[in-house]
Amino acid sequence: MDNKDASKAELSTSNLAKTLKMKSTELFQLLTDTGLINQNRELTPIGKSKGGVYRQHKDYGQYIVWPPSILSDLDDSQGKKGPDLITATSIGEWYQISADRINSILSELAWIKKDTPINGWQVTEFGKKVGGVQFTYKNTGIPYVRWPRNVLENKTLVTSIHEAKGEVTIITQDQVKTSETENTDIRNNYQRPEKRTQDGHYVRSKSEVIIDNWLYVSKIVHAYEKKVPNIDESILCDFYIPKGNVYIEYWGLDDGPYLIKKKWKLDIYQKNKINLIELTENDVSNLDDILAAKLRQFHVLIE
């Protein structure tokens, strides 16, 4: 085959997208996920080994072409074992948000977890409950997850996406009723969060100020009073650490009603196998040792 015939057999990225019946943005994400190109849309060593080469267009500059053999790699790697399974890229396109951001949200919900040292995603038990299915890209061995199409209507996911986009969450009457039930979260019966921390959070006690400031100074990203996802009950944690999906509860009181609801809350954490760190008043005076050690158990390291 001469050079002219070879060039006819080559597939540009746009032609590749048409052949696979994908949008260009979705294909670029797939090529990135499979390690064929990097975030700058440049060929990686894997991409070159699969036959990707650069060509030069007189008007548009440099671009990438692929041999026809790449089709079997990509078509297989999509794991199409049913018309209702979609990728994070598809979810992102539906809600007009990037696939990387979707994966971050799914990770924050504990539906997926990072596969290290391989740069991929593993489905969790929570993820399986909403229909997540594990796949692996054939040409790189990188794991990823696909989802049933009805995940686009999952209330927990939709709420998280709206919040990530800065959109106001509308509270339904059903949610209002949940917050008024007998098992209302512990903190609702006590003082309002009025004590300001170094990072601008408002918390309820001096001990929580100390904990929040310790996390901030330790450069650990955290949230205060975040709703615990993936459970039927409506409860808020004291602190949440996205890295490691760790929840922190500070038990500061010892009266009867508090202890009853503390036990109820602990039962929920244990039943749902949620990563939990418990702190008491005695622990607060020695966070450098106690909290640092507990965080290391969940691979959260202090800088």
| 93 vs 21, higher pLDDT | 93
Structure confidence at residue 269 (pLDDT): 94
Span 32-84, pLDDT tens digits: 877 788 888 899 888 888 889 999 888 878 999 999 888 877 765 544 444 46
Superfamily of domain 181-296: VSR Endonuclease (3.40.960.10)
User: Tokens at residue 241, please?
Assistant: 């650490």
Mean per-residue pLDDT over the chain, rounded: 82
What ranges do the domains of the chain cover?
A: 1-78, 79-170, 181-296
Question: Domain 1-78 carries which CATH code?
Answer: 1.10.10
Span 145-187, pLDDT tens digits: 999 989 999 988 998 898 888 875 544 434 433 433 344 454 5
Q: How far apart are CA 39 and CA 46, in angstroms?
A: 14
> b or e along 161-189 (b: 16 or more beta carbons within 10 Å of the residue's beta carbon)?
beeeeeeeeeeeeeeeeeeeeeeebbbee
Closest by Cα among 145, 148, 42 to 102: 145
Q: How far apart are CA 3 and CA 14, in angstroms?
A: 21
Radius of gyration of the chain, Cα coordinates, nearest whole angstrom: 24
Would you say 198 and 216 are in contact if contact means Cβ atoms under 8 Å apart? yes
Span 196-249, pLDDT tens digits: 999 999 999 999 999 999 999 999 999 999 989 888 888 899 999 998 899 999
Span 241-272, pLDDT tens digits: 998 899 999 998 888 888 998 999 999 999 99
Residue 5 has pLDDT above 70, yes or no: no
Q: How far apart are CA 263 and CA 194, in angstroms?
A: 26
pTM for the full predicted model: 0.63
